[in-house]
């Protein structure tokens, strides 16, 4: 089995950027405040309309890049806090989990969920996706996206879903410990490109790493999320000649 050159060393958005739940009254995934109009809803959202490196994009035509270095995962077990932001379920881990990219540390700030998944591969969307958002000391962002499709129950999600906050603005903190490592596929090859946040303010310059392999989620687990958020994914954005690279 190939592990995509990723080394395992250990078993919200954002500190300096708006949280997913902020300005919840200003944007939505549907209607007049939906994705097509985000750039006109607030001056700080303008790049959602005029940006040249927006996400998500269709993962298609990726070229193998043997120079890509392994991602080192240093994720710790801890009690997670789940928040219903009005746009998604956002999970905040205790401090200490991070990844290393080319020798640079990116701390895990939060992770959240989209249905359907936001990262199609050759035009095919997954049932759901997890986006793990990381931030370096100098403010740069890196997002690891994991695609989920219906299949067997997911043990880590089962623990998280026991604490799903049903009301917008509410939070629930887990009592049991869990590691975000359990949300990643065993085979960790990835595609990578430069993009943006997929929700306002659509900040660009984000390093995206989309896992090549999918993770399974049961129909019941999927329905538990879609009962809260039936559709919370951004429309595909133009690639505009951007290079998509694939790890070994």
- Lowest model confidence (mean pLDDT) among 22-26, 118-122, 204-208: 22-26
Q: Looking at residue 11, what is its pLDDT?
A: 33
- pLDDT, mean over the chain: 90
Q: Looking at residue 2, what is its pLDDT?
A: 38
**Over 60: is that where the pLDDT of 98 sits?**
yes
Q: What is the pTM of this model?
A: 0.89
Q: Looking at residue 47, what is its pLDDT?
A: 98
Residue with tokens 């250990």: 10
Arithmetic mean of pLDDT, 110-122: 97
Q: Looking at residue 4, what is its pLDDT?
A: 41
**Over 80: is that where the pLDDT of 125 sits?**
yes
Distance from C-alpha of 201 to C-alpha of 17, rounded to nearest angstrom: 9
**Over 70: is that where the pLDDT of 244 sits?**
yes
Among candidate residues 87, 112, 114, 163, the one labeled active-site is: 87
- 163 belongs to the catalytic site: no
**Over 70: is that where the pLDDT of 194 sits?**
yes
**Over 60: is that where the pLDDT of 237 sits?**
yes
- Tell me the sheet residues that pair with 207: 142, 194
Arithmetic mean of pLDDT, 74-83: 96
For 43-78, the pLDDT digits (tens) are 999 999 999 999 999 999 999 999 998 899 999 999
Q: Looking at residue 25, what is its pLDDT?
A: 53
Q: Looking at residue 46, what is its pLDDT?
A: 96
Comparing CA positions, the residue from 168, 152, 163, 170 lying closest to residue 222 is: 152
**Over 70: is that where the pLDDT of 7 sits?**
no
- Domains along the sequence of the chain with CATH: 7-246 (3.10.200.10)
Arithmetic mean of pLDDT, 109-132: 97
Contact 13, 23 (CB under 8 A): no
């Amino acid at each position: 089995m190939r592990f995509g050159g990723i080394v395992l060393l250990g078993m919200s958005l954002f500190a300096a950027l708006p949280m997913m739940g902020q300005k919840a009254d200003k944007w939505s995934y549907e209607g007049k405040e939906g994705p097509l109009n985000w750039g006109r809803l607030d001056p700080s959202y303008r790049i959602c309309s005029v940006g040249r490196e927006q996400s998500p994009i269709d993962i298609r035509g990726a070229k193998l890049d043997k120079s890509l270095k392994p991602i080192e995962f240093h994720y710790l077990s801890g009690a997670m806090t789940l928040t219903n932001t009005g746009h998604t379920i956002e999970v905040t881990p205790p401090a200490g989990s991070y990844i290393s990219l080319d020798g640079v540390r990116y701390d895990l700030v939060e992770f959240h969920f989209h249905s359907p998944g936001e990262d199609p591969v050759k035009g095919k969307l997954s049932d759901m996706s997890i986006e793990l958002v990381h931030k370096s000391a100098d403010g740069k962002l890196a997002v690891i996206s994991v695609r989920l499709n219906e299949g067997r129950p997911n043990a880590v999600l089962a623990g998280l879903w026991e604490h799903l906050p049903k009301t917008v603005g509410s939070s629930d903190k887990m009592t049991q410990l869990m590691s975000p490592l359990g949300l990643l596929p065993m085979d960790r090859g990835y595609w990578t490109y430069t993009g943006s946040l997929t929700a306002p303010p659509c900040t660009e310059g984000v390093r995206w790493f989309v896992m090549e392999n999918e993770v399974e989620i049961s129909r019941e687990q999927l329905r538990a999320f879609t009962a809260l958020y039936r559709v919370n994914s951004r429309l595909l954005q133009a690639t505009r000649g951007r290079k998509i690279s694939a790890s070994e």
